Amino acid sequence: MDCRSRRDVLRTVGGLAAVGAAGCGSLPATGGDERIDDDGVPPSETATTQFRGGLRRRGVFPEARVPGSVETAWSLPELNTGDHTAAKASPMALPSGDVLVAGDTGELHRLGPDGTVAWTASVADTTRGIHGTPAVANGAAYIGAYDGALSAIDVETGDRFWRMDLGDAIGSSPAYHDGTVYVAVEYSAPSGAMFGLDAVTGDIVWEDGRPTDHPHSTCAIDRTAGRLVVGSNDGNCYAWSYPDLEREWVFETDGAIKGPVATADGSAFFGSWDDHVYRVALGDGREEWAVETGSLVMSGPAVDAEAGVVYVGSHDSRLYALDMESGEPQWRYDTGGRLIGCPTVTAEHVLVGSHDGHCYAVERDSGRGAWRVAAGGNVSSTPLVVDGAVYVADRATEAYLDGGDGAAGRLYKLVAEGG
């Protein structure tokens, strides 16, 4: 079956599932005070944040602080048990202080600050499960999975509002804005598409099949610049006008763009498997700078526009701080293992997970290491900071995957040492 007919079939099946799926609840219609504003910051608790802190995916939290030294308070076992090496799903905070986290088991969990599991929802029955992070709005968690479906899950109960089958896989994290959920979808041909779905019903309101290879990247929406941008495994970064969603420019690199795209000051920032980090003008897709690292770049940049610094990891094991205007490196920090997840920037530190099995805190100004904590496996999720605690997930160890005594992937809560 070709990709076009595959999409038509999935759309028909998905539409039936969204309207008439047995046991599904009804999602309330959105209201004006339930919508996320220009910075991705919710005006009320009915619309909460999303991956990387907002629509522009900057990953910077200037009010957040972490302890000078940490220890593990608790962990949730058997979160990630598969062998797929892509970055695993990252925890997401709710206004209550609870945390949502998805795993490659295909389950979505809600946990309290003490580690108590409030509910577990089975979202996907597939060997690669979930790698994306939900967008949370209107009391629903919108999450895609490697079965190619996007689901809306009630954050209070874990029940499913709706499910829409869109393609063969979803590895990216959805974006929510103004009643619509946007997500990149992969097809096995290989090809891909960008979709917009009605947040209440799950109905498809927009589709564009421009990406010619699996779009694993997470899109960014920059309302100031009027652009929606996403990367793809075909090595291209694609741009649409926003909110009218007309095709704009395509920027070509020599390697897959697998990580999230971030936007700031009229530019898009992203890494490529051609070993470079790019800054590209959102207006016309013009290259503004390109910085070569020592290996592939799958990590999504964290962009501190106020400080004028871009933080990004590379497969060369280094965390880079780049001057935002010129791309010139300010410092490099070597963790000893590949960095494929995204860094998180707080008031004083940059947090990042490494394939050397540790989560690191690095001083953001000097690039000196502050602390590191060992996990059971490779750490590829994006760290989350909530009330001074750090949440981070790892993947299963090789020993576990080989049927031995190794550790399954876990979610860890890190707190002040001795606290």
Asked if the model's pLDDT at residue 313 lies above 50, the reply is yes
Pairwise pLDDT comparison (83 vs 118), residue with the higher score: 118
pLDDT of residue 279: 98
pLDDT of residue 186: 94
pLDDT in tens, 95-139: 889 999 999 999 999 999 999 999 999 998 777 899 999 999 989
Inter-residue contact 306 to 279 (CB < 8 Å): no
Has this prediction a pTM greater than 0.75?
A: yes
Asked if the model's pLDDT at residue 407 lies above 60, the reply is yes
Q: Quick one: 93 and 39 in the same domain?
A: yes
Domains held by the chain: number: 2
Instruction: Calculate the average pLDDT of the chain.
Output: 88
**Domain end: 288, 304, 339, which one?**
339
Q: Quick one: 212 and 225 in the same domain?
A: yes
CA angle 263, 267, 271 (to 5 degrees): 70
pLDDT in tens, 205-262: 999 999 989 898 999 999 999 999 999 999 999 999 999 999 999 999 999 999 999 9
Q: Quick one: 260 and 188 in the same domain?
A: yes
Query: Which 8-state DSSP code applies to residue 33?
Result: G
Tokens 């990580």, residue located:
259
**Sheet of 384-386, strands arranged across:** 70-80, 409-416, 389-393, 384-386
Asked if the model's pLDDT at residue 289 lies above 90, the reply is yes
Measured distance between the N- and C-terminal CA atoms of the chain, rounded to whole angstroms: 58
Q: Quick one: 178 and 254 in the same domain?
A: yes
Q: Quick one: 157 and 194 in the same domain?
A: yes
Query: In this predicted structure, which of 23-32, 85-94, 187-196, 317-326 has the lowest mean pLDDT?
Result: 23-32
Q: What percent of the chain has pLDDT over 70?
A: 89
Inter-residue contact 332 to 319 (CB < 8 Å): yes
CA atoms within 13 A on the CB side of 403: 0
Print the domain residue range for 206. Answer: 3-60+89-339
CATH, residue 81: 2.40.10.480
CATH, residue 56: 2.130.10.10
Q: Quick one: 216 and 259 in the same domain?
A: yes
pLDDT in tens, 383-402: 999 999 999 999 887 777 77
Q: Quick one: 216 and 289 in the same domain?
A: yes
In the three-class reduction of DSSP (H, G, I as helix; E, B as strand; rest coil), residue 331 is classed as: strand
**Domain end: 305, 339, 373, which one?**
339
Confidence of residue 25 (pLDDT cuts 50, 70, 90): low
